[in-house]
């Protein structure tokens, strides 16, 4: 890839604190590994509202569209709870997803061996877990029309949401899942509710046809989404890549997330379609957690989700697989050493703050590169 234009949008609350730790890793990679990242920065969420009266300015939106990848921190906080609905902090993230046409949301659920004890499930059920949920992000019941509350005129109202999927939407999200499976354990589980939903019947048909046409080397299985939720909690290691729609993906990815412990550990990526000329995809990487106003400014935030989001960025936007592997190994290594932020602290471990955790991961990353 010719350029590595990276836009940093730290956002609000702990977003900037976590982003500062990624910035240190990028500075090291540029100085010592000739990685040649070109950084730009913008405002999003409450900080953008304070500066521009919008959840993201047009200039920063243009920067996001021109970047090879966007790293997003977190938005929101009590200060902006009463701002008008269309400029609320989350509107910045929704605008980015919409204008960058990010239709594929990737949520890995990885259980680091050092944290297997902090899951609510038994250690042997989660230890070493490594699954990836691919959620369709721009269609389905959250966006389908009609979407309204209708007054029936007899003292009753009717709430209506519409689940809609077109063939092309299912083809492109399942294509992402099959391609990612090829880089992992080569298995995709597609989840829908074909027993009660027409959109589920179509989903099942299109995933099957896409598999047959282009990806028959990948193992494919189908599961009803409710059974999938149950299996995720019963024996999650049976899965490699799970592909599902917007609504089921929203729920199943949160269930999978909690298998692995703290919110402060979980990265995510949202990808668009490949550019017809360059083959590169628009992409945004962000931790799953929010702006954590309760601990913002105290130096206690866990930066691992943000750093792991950057590792996903190395892997999926820049094809820097060795560096991504090494950064993820550095995170695992620091946890093995017993270093913990408050959210993942347990007896006998060494409690550190955001900066010390970032420093420890960077030192391990450097050591692994030597």
Per CB under 6 A, which region of 54-62, 188-196, 295-303, 309-317 contacts ligand NAD?
Answer: 295-303
d(CA 109, CA 236): 10
254 classed as catalytic: yes
277 classed as catalytic: no
Distance of CA 279 to CAs 64, 105, 201, Å? 18, 18, 31
Minimal distance in Å, beta carbon 13 to ligand NAD?
Answer: 6
Minimal distance in Å, beta carbon 289 to ligand NAD?
Answer: 3
Cβ-based nearer residue to ligand NAD, 220 or 301: 301
Per CB under 6 A, which region of 125-133, 291-299, 321-329, 359-367 contacts ligand NAD?
Answer: 291-299
* Binding status of residue 357 toward ligand NAD by CB under 6 A: no
Distance of CA 332 to CAs 215, 221, 311, 349, Å? 32, 31, 13, 15
| Strands, E assignment, the chain | 5-11, 38-41, 69-74, 104-110, 130-136, 144-151, 157-162, 187-192, 219-224, 241-244, 267-274, 281-287, 339-340, 350-351
DSSP state of 275: P
3-state secondary structure of 288: coil
80 is in an annotated binding site: yes
Among 140, 267, 290, 333, interactor with ligand NAD by CB under 6 A: 290
Cβ-based nearer residue to ligand NAD, 22 or 305: 305
Q: Which of residues 55-114 bind ligand NAD (CB under 6 A)?
A: 74-77, 93
Could you tell me if 342 and 357 are in contact, meaning their C-beta atoms sit under 8 angstroms apart? no
> CA 325, 328, 128 angle in degrees (round to 5)?
100
DSSP state of 277: T
Could you tell me if 365 and 330 are in contact, meaning their C-beta atoms sit under 8 angstroms apart? yes
Return binding residues for substrate. 97, 107, 135, 226
Residue ranges binding ligand NAD (CB under 6 A) = 14, 74-77, 93, 263-264, 286, 289-295, 301-302, 305, 343
Return binding residues for NAD(+). 77-90, 290-302
Return binding residues for Mg(2+). 226, 250, 254
Would you name the residues annotated as active-site residues?
A: 142, 193, 226, 250, 254
């Amino acid at each position: 890839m010719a350029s590595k234009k990276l836009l940093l949008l730290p956002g609000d609350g702990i977003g900037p604190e976590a982003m500062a730790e990624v910035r240190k890793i990028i500075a090291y990679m540029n100085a010592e590994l000739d990685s040649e990242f070109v950084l730009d920065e913008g405002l999003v969420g409450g900080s953008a509202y304070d500066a521009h009266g919008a959840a993201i300015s047009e200039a920063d939106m243009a920067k996001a569209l021109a970047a090879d990848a966007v790293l997003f921190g977190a938005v929101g906080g009590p200060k902006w709870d009463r701002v008008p609905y269309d400029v609320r902090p989350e509107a910045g993230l929704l605008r980015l997803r919409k204008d960058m046409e990010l239709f594929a949301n990737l949520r890995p659920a990885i259980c680091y061996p050092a944290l297997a004890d902090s899951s609510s499930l038994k250690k042997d059920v989660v230890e070493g877990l490594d699954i990836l949920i691919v959620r369709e992000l721009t269609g389905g019941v959250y966006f389908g029309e009609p979407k309204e509350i209708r007054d029936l005129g007899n003292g009753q109202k009717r709430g209506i949401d519409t689940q809609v999927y077109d063939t092309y939407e299912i083809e492109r999200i399942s294509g992402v899942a099959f391609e990612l499976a090829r880089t992992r354990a080569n298995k995709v589980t597609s989840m829908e509710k074909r027993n009660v939903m027409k959109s589920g019947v179509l989903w099942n048909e299109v995933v099957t046809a896409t598999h047959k046409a282009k990806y028959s080397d990948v193992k494919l299985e189908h599961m009803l989404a409710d059974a999938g939720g149950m299996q995720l909690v019963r024996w999650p290691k049976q899965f490699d890549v799970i592909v599902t729609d917007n609504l089921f993906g929203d729920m199943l990815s949160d269930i999978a997330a909690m298998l692995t412990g703290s919110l402060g550990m979980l990265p995510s990526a949202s990808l668009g379609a490949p550019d017809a000329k360059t083959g590169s995809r628009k992409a945004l990487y962000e931790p799953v957690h929010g702006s954590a106003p309760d601990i913002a400014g105290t130096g206690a935030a866990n930066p691992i989700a943000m750093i792991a989001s950057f590792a996903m960025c190395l892997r999926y936007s820049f094809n820097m697989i060795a560096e991504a592997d090494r950064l993820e190994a550095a995170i695992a290594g620091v946890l093995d050493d017993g270093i913990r932020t408050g959210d993942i602290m347990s007896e006998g471990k060494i409690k550190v703050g955001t900066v010390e955790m970032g420093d420890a991961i960077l030192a391990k990353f450097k050591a692994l590169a030597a």
